[in-house]
Amino acid sequence: MRRRPDPGGKLGVGVFIGFAGKGQRDAYMAALKKEGIRTAPPGGSVILPIQPCIEKKLTVHSAWPTFTSVRGREIQYFAACCPTTINILGRFAGVMIGPKFTREDKDEVVATIRKVYPAIARTT
């Protein structure tokens, strides 16, 4: 495990696991959901080129330099810009460990992952 960047535990942490393919990832997520553990693929601004505001070059100000320079106007943003990244991130699923999780909550998450992961990882 990595060094914990928030020793006080005020932010929480996400634990993501990679799989051989999206099918395995989806099976893992479904199995954890069945056990009552919420999971999600990487999200947010992880893949900026496919975010609608980036694809359409929408900004808080019309003179935003990233999009108004000669190079910025030439660049097109869309899913085809980053197929490898989309493929890689599409194979990951994570469990968020919130700052209010008790020790028992954390132990339950770990036990459930240890129960579910081996069965899913064996399938290819």
Give Cβ neighbours of residue 104 (< 8 Å, ≥ 6 apart).
none
Letter string b/e over residues 45-65, b meaning 16 or more CB atoms within 10 A of that residue's CB: eebebbeeebeeeeeeeeeee
Q: Is the pLDDT of residue 1 over 60?
A: no
**In the chain, what are the domain boundaries?**
13-42+91-124, 44-89
CB atoms within 10 A of CB 122: 8
**Higher pLDDT pick, 91 / 54:** 91
For 61-79, the pLDDT digits (tens) are 888 888 888 888 888 888 7
HSE, CB side, 13 Å, CA atoms: give it for residue 75.
15
Per-residue pLDDT reduced to its tens digit, 6-61: 667 677 788 899 999 999 999 999 999 999 999 999 876 668 888 888 888 888 88
34, 116, 39, 89 alpha-carbon torsion, rounded to 10°: -140
Q: What is the pLDDT of residue 24?
A: 95
pLDDT of residue 19: 95
Whole-number Å distance between alpha carbons of 97 and 12: 5
Instruction: Decide if pLDDT at 2 tops 70.
Output: no
Q: What is the distance between the alpha carbons of residues 115 and 59, in angstroms, rounded to a whole number?
A: 45
